[in-house]
């Protein structure tokens, strides 16, 4: 009887592995619905954590710096977070970047973010024209009353986002 149980357990291993993979995929989807870091941390810390997570997952070296200390309105936090998330994905998927620099800064009542990478630049971007990532980043910046510029060079890409500083309400 124990041999039969062991045999059945062995037969079920592919199904167990498939269920485990589904659970992991669901966790990934849930994590991307509402960034876990937002709401618990200031925007700069949430972006720093995103950069660290991306570096761990991709193997790329990511440097993050920020001079932003004021609270940012929640809706703006999510848009800025998603823009960076897409920029990091593009740097890896399309540009094959190994080094990425992210700067979040406040100057003259504006919030800015610059993302520079050493990816392969124009060749990769030309092949990905059908995607919606860059379009979505532009839309997010526009919703915040700002601008987004993307410069593709042979030695990488530079994305620049500037929006009016969306200060969080004082409570």
Specify the pLDDT at position 102.
Answer: 98
pTM: predicted TM-score of the whole model, two decimal places: 0.75
Same domain, 66 and 94: yes
3-state class of 99 per DSSP?
A: strand
In a domain, 170, yes or no: no
- Closest by CA position to 113, among listed 75, 73, 76: 76
Owning domain of residue 52: 41-164
In a domain, 49, yes or no: yes
Same domain, 58 and 103: yes
- CATH code for the domain in which residue 67 is found: 3.30.565.10
CA–CA separation, 54 and 61 (whole Å): 9
Specify the pLDDT at position 125.
Answer: 44
The stretches in the chain having pLDDT less than 70 are: 1, 25-37, 39-40, 121-131, 169-171
Specify the pLDDT at position 83.
Answer: 97
CB 74 within 8 A of CB 38: yes
Specify the pLDDT at position 162.
Answer: 96
How many domains would you assign to the chain? 2
Specify the pLDDT at position 34.
Answer: 55
Side-chain half-sphere CA neighbours of 38 within 13 A: 19
CA–CA separation, 163 and 68 (whole Å): 13
Same domain, 119 and 60: yes
- Closest by CA position to 104, among listed 36, 40, 41, 31: 41
In a domain, 169, yes or no: no
Same domain, 4 and 49: no
């Amino acid at each position: 009887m124990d041999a039969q149980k062991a045999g059945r357990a062995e037969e079920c291993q592919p199904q167990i592995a498939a269920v485990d993979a589904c659970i992991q995929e669901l966790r990934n989807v849930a994590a991307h619905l509402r960034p876990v870091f937002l709401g618990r941390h200031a925007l700069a810390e949430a972006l720093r954590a995103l950069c660290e997570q991306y570096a761990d997952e991709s193997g790329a070296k990511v440097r993050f710096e920020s001079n932003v200390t004021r609270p940012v309105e929640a809706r703006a936090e999510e848009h800025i977070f998603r823009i960076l998330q897409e920029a990091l994905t593009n740097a890896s998927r399309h540009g094959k970047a190994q080094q990425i620099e992210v700067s979040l800064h406040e100057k003259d009542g504006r919030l800015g973010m610059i993302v520079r990478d050493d990816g392969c630049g124009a060749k990769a971007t030309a092949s990905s024209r059908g995607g919606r990532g860059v379009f979505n980043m532009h839309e997010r910046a526009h919703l915040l009353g700002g601008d987004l510029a993307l410069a593709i060079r042979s030695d990488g890409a530079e994305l620049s986002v500037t929006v009016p500083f969306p200060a969080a309400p004082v409570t």
